[in-house]
């Protein structure tokens, strides 16, 4: 499992725009990994692979999820684009040859986060939010917090996500709420 081999495969799988985003996530993730003491090689592999299923058609995501008996809760069925994380885990394992469960879980949960996230989960989730190509209201505050406090940056990122999802009258995934609560409870 070498980064260069996986990165070359990812380059062929993704559109130019999505590939540039993935490289931006790698850059952000490596910076966070150095800052917060996360394995650099695992971080690079998870970051470049995190969106390996992002450009799949919705029908393909749902089909793979059903065939692999993935958890298809009502929120995910209503927002099937959330499946690119769990399906990405499957693709990373079966097609990219990634067998490290910590990396696979970081890919799986980068869309929703989860309670009791590992450091790698946190780095990949936050890197996807703050990579240089992202531009939305509140991002600079998240980037600033990411320089000092990984957990607080994730809480702010989740708060921003919650506000956005509520503003468009969409569904919040329970794992996202659980992730936020888990971080806040760990600080009490």
Query: What pLDDT, in 10s, does the model give residues 35-64?
Result: 999 999 999 999 999 999 999 999 999 999
Domain that residue 53 falls in: 3-186
pLDDT in tens, 140-172: 999 999 999 999 999 999 999 999 999 999 999
pTM of the model: 0.96
Q: Could you please report the per-residue DSSP string of 63-121?
A: HHHHHTT----HHHHHSGGGGHHHHHHHHHHHTS----HHHHHHHHTTTT--TT--HHH
pLDDT in tens, 82-95: 999 999 999 999 99
Q: What is the CATH number of the domain that holds 111?
A: 1.10.3210.10
Mean pLDDT confidence for 11-23: 97
Q: How many domains does the structure of the chain reveal?
A: 1
């Amino acid at each position: 499992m070498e980064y260069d081999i996986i990165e070359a495969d990812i380059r062929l799988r993704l559109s130019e725009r999505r590939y540039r985003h993935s490289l931006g996530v790698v850059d952000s993730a490596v910076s966070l990994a150095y800052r917060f003491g996360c394995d650099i090689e695992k971080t690079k592999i998870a970051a470049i692979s995190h969106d390996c299923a992002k450009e799949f058609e919705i029908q393909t995501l749902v089909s793979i999820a059903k065939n692999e008996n993935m958890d298809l809760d009502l929120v995910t069925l209503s927002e099937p684009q959330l499946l690119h994380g769990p399906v990405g885990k499957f693709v990373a394992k079966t097609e990219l040859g990634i067998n490290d469960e910590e990396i696979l879980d970081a890919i799986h949960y980068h869309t929703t986060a989860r309670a009791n996230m590992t450091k790698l989960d946190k780095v990949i989730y936050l890197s996807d939010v703050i990579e240089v190509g992202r531009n939305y209201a509140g991002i600079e505050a998240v980037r600033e917090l990411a320089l000092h406090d990984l957990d607080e940056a994730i809480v702010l990122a989740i708060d921003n996500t919650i506000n956005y999802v509520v503003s468009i009258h969409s569904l919040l995934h329970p794992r996202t709420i659980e992730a936020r609560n888990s971080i806040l409870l760990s600080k009490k």
